[in-house]
Structure 1
Amino acid sequence: MKKILSLIFSVSISLTAFSQASIKESEVARIIKTLSADDMMGRRTFTPGIEKASVFIQQEFKKIGLKPLKGLSSFEQKFSMYSLKPTEAKLTLNGADLGKENFFFVTSSESIAWTEQSKPEIYYINEKSNFRQAFNQIRKKNTDAVILVNPKHQKMFSNYRNYFGAGSTREALNQDKTQVFALADSVQVNALAVNLKNQVETLSLANVAGMIEGKRKDEFLVFSGHYDHLGYIKAVEGDSIANGADDDASGTTAVISLANYYSKQAKPERSLIFVCFTAEEIGGYGSQYFSKQLNPDQIVAMFNIEMIGKPSKFGANSAFITGFEKSDFGTILQESVKGSVYSFHPDPYTEQNLFYRSDNATLARLGVPAHSISSDQIDIDKLYHSVDDEFESLDISHMTNMIRAIAVGSKTMAEGKATPKRVNKAEVD
Structure 2
Amino acid sequence: MKKTLYTLVALLFTQLTFAQDINKIITIKYVDRLIKTLSSDEMEGRGLYSPGIEKAASFIESEFKAIGLKPMEGETGFRQSFEIEGKPAFNVAGIIPGKSKAAELVIFSGHYDHLGIVKGDAQDSIANGADDDASGITAMIALAKYYKKLNNNERTLIFVAFTAEEIGGFGSKHFSKKLNPDHVVAMFNIEMIGKESKFGKNTAFITGFDKSDFGKILQKNLVGTEFTFHPDPYIRQNLFYRSDNATLAALGVPAHTISTDQIDTDAFYHTVKDEYSTLDTQNILATIKAIAKSAITIIKGTDTPSRIPRLIESHD
TM-score, structure 2 normalization: 0.95
In the alignment, structure 1 residue 18 sits paired with structure 2 residue 18: no
| Structure 1 residue runs of 4 or more that deviate by more than 6 Å after TM superposition | none
The reply to whether residue 269 of structure 1 matches residue 154 of structure 2 is yes
The CA deviation at 1:334 is 0.2
Partner Cα distance (1:205, 1:70) in 2: 19
| Contact 1:12 1:336 (C-alpha < 8 Å) held by counterparts | no
- State the shift of 1:315 in Å: 1.3
Which residue matches 1:65? 68
Q: Residues 152 and 300 of structure 2 are in contact (CA less than 8 Å); yes or no, is this contact kept in structure 1?
A: no
Separation in 2, partners of 1:14, 1:318: 22
After superposition, the CA RMSD in angstroms is 1.5
Deviation at 1:5, TM superposition (A): 5.1
Counterpart residue number, 2:216: 331
Cα distance in 2, alignment partners of residues 227 and 426 from structure 1? 27
Greater Rg by CA: 1
Report if aligned partners of 2:67, 2:144 keep a CA contact under 8 Å in 1.
Answer: yes
Q: How many residues align?
A: 309
- Structure with the higher strand share, 1 or 2: 1
- Residue in structure 2 matched with residue 296 of structure 1 by the alignment: 181
CA shift, 1:55, in A, is 0.4
> Residue 342 of structure 1 aligns with which residue?
227
1:189-247 CA-partner distances (Å, limit 9, x unpaired):
xxxxxxxxxxxxx2000000000001122111000000000011111242110000000
| Structure 2 counterpart of 1:93 | none
Among candidates 272, 280, 283, match of residue 387 of structure 1: 272
Q: Distance in 2 between matches of 1:412 and 1:265?
A: 13
Q: Deviation of residue 251 (structure 1)? A: 0.4
CA distance in 1, matches of 2:38, 2:145: 17
Provide, for residues 138-167 of structure 1, a one-character-per-residue CA deviation record: whole Å limited to 9, x for no partner. xxxxxxxxxxxxxxxxxxxxxxxxxxxxxx
* Match 1:207 to one of 91, 95, 103: 91
CA deviation after TM superposition for structure 1 residue 340, in Å: 1.3
User: Does the CA contact (< 8 Å) of 2:251 and 2:311 recur in 1?
Assistant: no
Counterpart of 1:263, as a letter, is K
* Partner deviation per Cα, 1:39-95 (whole Å, 9 max, x = no partner): 11100111111111000000000011000000111000001121xxxxxxxxxxxxx
AA of the residue aligned to 1:56: F
C-alpha displacement at 1:9, in angstroms?
4.7
Query: In the alignment, which of 274, 295, 313 is matched to residue 198 of structure 2?
Result: 313
Shift of 1:16: 3.1
* Corresponding residue of 1:47: 50
SS where residue 264 of structure 1 aligns? helix
**Cα distance, 1:39–1:353 mapped onto 2, change above 3 Å:** same
Q: Which amino acid aligns with 1:60?
A: E
**Aligned pairs for 1:2-401 within 5 A:** 2-3=4-5, 4=7, 7-82=10-85, 202-215=86-99, 216-401=101-286
Structure 2, unmatched stretches of 5+, are: none
* Alpha-carbon distance, 1:298 to partner: 0.5
Residue 277 of structure 2 aligns with an amino acid whose one-letter code is: E
How far apart are residue 14 of structure 1 and its match? Answer: 3.0
Supply the distance in 2 between the matched residues of 1:339 and 1:6 (Cα, whole angstroms): 13
Post-superposition offset of 1:11: 2.8
More helix by share: 2
Distance 2:295 2:214 in 1: 10
1:405 alignment partner AA: A
> Aligned AA for 1:317?
N
In structure 1, distance between residues paired with 2:136 and 2:50? 20
Question: 1: CA distance between counterparts of 2:132 and 2:175?
Answer: 20
Q: Which amino acid letter does the alignment assign opposite residue 73 of structure 1?
A: T
**Partners in 2 of 1:391 and 1:276 — Cα distance?**
19
Q: Deviations over 1:268-311 (max 9, x none)?
A: 10000000000000000000000000111000000000000111
Aligned residue for 1:143?
Answer: none
User: Does the CA-based 8 Å contact 1:231-1:241 persist in structure 2?
Assistant: yes
Amino acid at match of 1:404: K
Assess if the C-alpha contact under 8 Å between 1:12 and 1:340 holds in 2. Answer: no
What's the TM-score, normalizing by structure 1? 0.70
The percentage of aligned residue pairs carrying the same residue is 56
Q: Indicate conservation of the 8 Å contact 1:369/1:423, yes or no.
A: yes
